Amino acid sequence: MKTIDKEYIADQQIDRIVKILHSVPEESIPEGFDHRLRAALMSEMTHSNHQPVSATRSTGFFSSRRMRIGMSLAACFVVGILSISMYNSGMWDPPISPGTELSGSAGAGGILSEEEMASEADTYVETEAGVLGDPLDGGIVEERTETDDRALEEKVDPNPQQPMQITSDPVSRHGGQFAELRDEQILYFSLAERYLNGQQYELYTYTWDLRTGEHRFSLLVWETGTEAVTGRSIVLVGTRGEIYEEQQPDESIEPLRSD
């Protein structure tokens, strides 16, 4: 019963509140507003008649949201493709160090003529088998057998330029300094052998100067005279695609053996 009374009282109070709110008087618009509004409308009319086309208003082809998203995705795709192709072409590989630059350009292809390059292919086989294969064990070319020659001929690359194209070698392109050094070794060993022109020799030491890029060969060359076989120590220096004999201050010829 009390609840019903409470609700009844609440409803009565709400009714009274609503009646009071209904009785809030209506205010009239202050004088002068009509003039103000008319002026604003005239200004708006003038503005709308002479309104320039907004540069930022989206119109035409680019107004579609889907189109804008599609263009963005296409741009991302193109950038990705370009990045992958540039990576594969090696544009982003680290630069080759100065020490290895010599063998690639000046050492092999830069100085040697085409004729020399052709002969390089021949000497390549020889050095692979004779000198470089086990240089400290002898290195006497004449001791090779015919079987070895045939076996080596099978290893000859049909393209004679192949051994000299070290810059295109994927191993050396990816920072393989040792691969390039090996190519230079082959080159200068072959040049040294040509320089000795069939003379018998023993290789004592081989050094590669990292600073100057010189390949130094210390050799004992056997010279057959009329009475005895003598040995002469020489130093061959290979650099810039050439090889020369270093002048010794006191060249000594000592007899090694006698017949």
Partner 1 sequence: MDLPQDEAQLIEKAKAGDPASFELLIEGCKTKAYNTALRYLRDEQDALDVLQESMIKVYRHLGQFNSDSKFDTWVYRIVVNTCNDFLRKNQNRKNTDSIYRVREEEETTFDIPDRSPTPGEALDSKETMRMILECLERLDKDQKEVIVLRDIQGFSYEEISDILQCSIGTVKSRINRARHKLRDMIVEQNKDRPV
Q: Which residues would be at the binding site for partner 1 (CB under 8 A)?
A: 10, 13-14, 16-30, 33-34, 36-38, 40-42, 44-45, 48
Pick from 153, 150, 180, 185: which is nearest to 165 by CA? Answer: 180
Q: Would you say 43 or 205 has its CB closer to partner 1?
A: 43
Tell the smallest beta-carbon distance from residue 67 to partner 1 (Å): 25
Give the shortest CB-42-to-partner 1 separation in angstroms.
7
- Tokens representing 129 are 């088998």
Q: How far is CA 43 from CA 17, 40, 209, in A?
A: 44, 5, 88
| Residue 11: CB minimum distance to partner 1, A | 9
- CB of 43 or CB of 83, closer to partner 1: 43
Q: Whole-number minimum distance, CB 8 to partner 1, in Å?
A: 13
- Alpha-carbon distance of 20 to 16, in angstroms, equals 6
With contact defined as beta carbons under 8 Å apart, do 215 and 239 qualify?
A: yes
Q: Residue 18 or 71: which CB sits closer to partner 1?
A: 18
Of the two residues 13 and 72, which places its CB atom closer to partner 1 in the complex?
A: 13
Least distance to partner 1, CB of residue 28, Å: 7
Name the nearest CA neighbour of 112 among 97, 123, 127, 125: 123
Identify which of residues 38 and 144 has a Cβ nearer to partner 1 in the complex: 38
| Residue 3 Cβ vs partner 1, minimum distance, rounded to whole Å | 15
Of the two residues 30 and 94, which places its CB atom closer to partner 1 in the complex? Answer: 30
The neighbour count for residue 232, using CB atoms within 10 Å, is 17
Q: For residue 142, how many C-alpha atoms fall within 13 Å in the half-sphere facing its CB?
A: 7
Write out the H or E segment, with its range, that includes residue 184: helix 177-196
In the complex, least distance from residue 87 CB atom to partner 1, rounded to whole angstroms: 52
CA 235 vs CA 216, 217, 231, 249: distances in Å: 7, 5, 13, 12
Name the DSSP class of 122.
Answer: H
d(CA 27, CA 50): 37
The residue among 8 and 33 lying less far from partner 1, judged by its C-beta, is: 33
